[in-house]
Structure 1
Amino acid sequence: MSQRILIVEDETDLAQILAEYLQRDGFVATTIADGLAAMAELRRAPPELLLLDLMLPGMDGISILRELRKTSDLPVIMVTARTEEIDRLLGLELGADDYVCKPYSPREVVARVKTVLRRTQGAANVVASSTPHRSALEIDADAQQARFAGKNLELTPKEFRLLQTLAGKPGRVFSRSQLLDALYEDNLEVSERAIDSHLKNLRKKLAPAFPDEEPIRSIYGVGFAFEW
């Protein structure tokens, strides 16, 4: 049975385009332009995932998300043009699973939908057959060694700790500052840009294990997340 995606967006042309892209990928997409109507629909027939615009008539997206989180762990991707709200949207206070900034590519949104669903129970059917088996990646904290499909990944201590931090909480967004704290426990004065160098090297070493995807996602202005 196709998974249902509820798109709450008051720009009707944009919502319709997004719905069409989702339908091409086998989803059932429903659009609603009003926040209060969306809240009623969520109570009546919860979808598998909610695409929720921040600015809405009737009831804004943050209010909808706050109300929803009182009773539900429904996956939510927020859509926003207000980048200053991103930290709140992804924080524990509100608990969005991901966000997309306007203007966006509909293809990018579909990819984000698949990624979030892949992280939730019962969403295995949206994982493409080319996606590596997630259990093939092993992280041995005692031996300080990472393996993929039984083969050692030749990582430096810093690269291993970086992978351990990101992959230990898949989907969570880490800022450069948080990653620095994980890598340099002695509080050395290290530039946040040092993380970029470690990430570049780690991505190269992970590339053979993930030939069809980039497991470490860069989130502009926020940080990085490991998605597997």
Structure 2
Amino acid sequence: MLVTGTAMMDVMSEPARTALRAMVVDDEPDLADLVASYLKRDGFDVTVVGDGAEAVETARAVDPDVLVLDLGLPGLDGVEVCRRVREFSDAYVVMLTARSDEVDTLIGLSVGADDYMTKPFSPRELSARIQARIRRPRAGLGGPATRTVPREVRVFGDLTIDVAAREVSVADEVVHLTRTEFDVLAVLSADPGVVVTRSALIDAVWRTGWNGADHLVDVHIGHLRRKLGDDASDPRFVITVRGVGYRMGDGA
């Protein structure tokens, strides 16, 4: 198609859209704009929202890859926003909280947050965490998205894990996992029978150098078991090795 004149200028001046989208949800405009500026610098197309209810609807429309979410929002709080967004999105969720006690943190993680930071925080560190999580290859894939990946399917009883497709099913029923939940399962299932320590899981799924609570792993393991229908008192898929970590069961 031939484009001339003003149309050509419009095409040339129109910025290319990034493949990665981020939402910043915080009712402190200065902080939200600061975080957004760092994400834009890193190549994200950023949407800023200051209200909980609006955040849920905007997330449906924007379909973000990353959601930076304040816990203390007007209207719907961050926990409820995360809970609702998790019904339709597997975005990487970083929860921001002004309260440092662990209860608030675990409440946030229990509805599907992947990470958290306590205010005041360094936007540079937040940016680094997001870059480490989003830019790295998915667990078990072994390379960037453009690389040809051999199809690998792992079977444990009636649990099937299609690594390349990032699909999980139990008894032929699809199980919808968040990105982090799938990555935890991918790491555990990569070498069945071998115990993976909490610190090794954190290094593999989150990032090397994580200095947060090990409870992060336990919370996601709890969600994973619940979605797989795995009874913690008599597990078939994810086995706890007390004082050490976790390993895959054979599904029997």
How does the TM-score come out when normalised to structure 2?
0.51
Contact 2:22 2:65 in 1 (8 A): yes
Matched, 1:166 2:183: no
Distance 1:36 1:89 in 2: 17
Aligned equivalent of 1:9, options 10, 23, 26: 26
What corresponds to 1:186 in structure 2? none
Q: Is the 8 A contact 2:79 2:107 kept in 1?
A: no
Partner of 2:69: 52
Q: Report the Cα distance in structure 1 between the residues aligned to 2:46 and 2:81, rounded to whole angstroms.
A: 19
Structure 2 residue 106 is matched with structure 1 residue 72:
no
Q: Amino acid of the residue matched to residue 60 of structure 1?
A: D
Residue of 80, 83, 94 corresponding to 2:111: 94
- The equivalent of 2:211 in structure 1 is 218
Counterpart-to-counterpart distance in 1, 2:30 and 2:59: 22
Cα displacement (A) at 1:71: 3.0
Report Cα offsets for 1:72-115 as digits up to 9, x if no partner. 3221110111223112222xx31211011100111011011112
C-alpha distance 35-120 of structure 1, shift in aligned 2 (>3 A) = farther
Q: 1:120 to 1:33 in 2, by over 3 A?
A: farther
Aligned-pair identity in percent equals 37
On the 8 A contact 1:5/1:27 being kept in 2, the answer is yes
Give the alignment's Cα RMSD to 1 decimal.
Answer: 3.1
Task: Give the number of equivalent residue pairs.
Answer: 150
**Gap regions ≥5 residues in structure 2:** 1-17, 146-189, 218-252
Per-residue deviation, 1:118:
3.9
- The 5-angstrom pairing of residues 28-177 of structure 1 reads 28-84=45-101, 85-90=104-109, 93-118=110-135, 121=138, 124=144, 164-168=197-201, 170-171=204-205
100-109 or 70-79, which moves further after superposition? 70-79
Q: Higher Cα Rg: structure 1 or 2?
A: 2
Inter-partner Cα distance in structure 1 for 2:82 and 2:37:
24
1:218 and 1:224 in contact (8 A); partners too: no
Contact in 2 for aligned 1:7/1:32 (Cα 8 Å):
yes
Q: 3-state DSSP class of the match of 1:218?
A: coil
Matched-pair contact (CA < 8 Å) for 2:199–2:214:
no
The one-letter code matched in structure 1 to 2:200 is A
Q: Once structures 1 and 2 are overlaid, which stretch shifts more, 79-88 or 103-112? A: 79-88
Match of 1:210 in 2: none
Given that 1:97 and 1:116 are in contact with CA atoms closer than 8 Å, whether structure 2 keeps it comes out as no
Does the 8 Å contact 2:38/2:127 carry over to 1? yes
Q: 1:124 and 1:112, CA in 2 relative to 1: closer, same or farther beyond 3 A?
A: farther
Give yes or no for contact 2:65–2:92 (8 Å, CA) kept in 1.
yes
Segments of 4+ in structure 1 off by > 6 A? 139-142
- Cα 1:168–1:32 change in 2 (3 A) is closer
Structure 1 residues not aligned, in runs of 5+: 126-138, 145-160, 173-213
> For 2:88, what is the secondary structure of its paired residue?
coil
CA contact (8 A) 2:21 2:62 kept: no
